[in-house]
Structure 1
């Protein structure tokens, strides 16, 4: 993940101010990588092929292990959630998809609790 700072185009601003230029740049970049068809509505790709293409896009063609992605996700937890971070680490996830599934369920449960409160 050493080449992560080497961008093909400007990153999307957190405020979304450069969204239009970013989406155009992203589309051009996908076409250049022969992946443009993946973002077209109604394409006939299987779910497995779509996931494989997104994985290539997210990682920009670089080899990154599940352990790298798990560690990156754990490191993004807010400082006030250190205990929560440790709890997720202790669960011993081996695959990134397992962690993300667990986090999505926790997020849905939290939203439900907030609505009921």
Structure 2
């Protein structure tokens, strides 16, 4: 667990194309470092300034430069997290139903080779 800083986390792109992967990486990191309360709205779990600063540093380092400039004045990780959710979380509503539809209608017999089938499965 102490080598988490060595892992390469993806940077959130300006248009949020990689938001779903990015948000999972950030949540895992915050869980590992016991920083999850900094991005969750929990009244019974107070968060110190050091934890907030650590969470903000991590989030800012892993968002695109244009997003860093846009949210430069944000000092607390929770409002920044909520803003990013409002901005990009609609992707669950867009991509997951399409992936489910593609998966349900995928048939092995529609492909000429196993490699073509495997390629399609990996793209879903």
**TM-score (norm: length of structure 1):** 0.37
**TM-score (norm: length of structure 2):** 0.36
Q: Name which structure has the greater RCO, CA cutoff 8 Å, separation 6+.
A: 2
Instruction: Give the number of the structure whose alpha-carbon radius of gyration is greater.
Output: 2
